[in-house]
Amino acid sequence: MEDAEYDLMDAVEDGMWWYRAVHARLLDVLERRPGQAALPVLDAGCGTGGFLRRLAEVTARPAIGLDYNARAAARAAGKSGLPATGGTVNALPFPDASFGAAVSVDVICHAGVEEGAALAELHRVLAPGATLVLNLPAYAWLHSAHDRRVHTARRYTASSAAQLLRGAGFADVSAWYWNSLLLPLMVLQRKVLARSEDHASDVAEFPPWLNRVLHGATEAERRLPFTLPAGGSVLLAATRP
């Protein structure tokens, strides 16, 4: 991403409804599927460290961040108190079987990422029995100015993303949509209100009342005893055999 987008992320990720929602879901998956809990967690594409800080708040499990932008990785380390380094998911700078779990939020979809190479690298650095958790943007038809701003090149369905992980050698793959209740608003924003080529990304500081309403909708959805058949993002969990 551009430096300006990292600045936006750094400024809002602790409070903006979407970051809070995706971080909560990552933690939910890691609680259900911790992988090899004695080994650290890798945040592959850690940005400016919002999830690393959240992870450090709720668990003593060691973790390491990596981001292509070395300045963002330095911010992540300062924000979370955990180590973070510059590097690419296409060639991870870690030994084989180093991690008991890995998370990666909207990274495999990035224009600078080679899907096959990145998934092979995640498979390599995860220990047998480790958990991989991915968040990916849903539906190619939702591609918009936001995606161009943050360099998103690919969007996925739950089935296509699950097949991608199985093809990369992962097992016990689960894939489901979230941000479902807000999908109509997302379509309105992306395809109508912000459809111009030069529109800003959706990462922004929302009015407090609106931020509370949007986050409340994601929390209501999170507490449902079932998943909905469509949503703005795909969440995946898989095991490195």
Q: How far apart are CA 169 and CA 119, in angstroms?
A: 9
Helix (H) / strand (E) element for 29: namely helix 17-32
Single pTM value for the model: 0.96
Quick check: helix, strand or coil at residue 141?
A: helix
Taking only the tens place, the pLDDT of each residue in 104-145 is 999 999 999 999 999 999 999 999 999 999 999 999 999 998
191: domain range?
A: 3-239
Model confidence band, residue 178 (pLDDT cutoffs 50, 70, 90) = very high
CATH code where residue 183 lies: 3.40.50.150
* pLDDT for the residue 104: 98
Angle between helices 50-58 and 17-32 (to 10 degrees): 50
Name the percent of the chain lying above pLDDT 90: 90
Q: How many domains does the chain have?
A: 1
* pLDDT for the residue 3: 84
When the pLDDT of each residue in the chain is averaged and rounded to a whole number, the result is 96
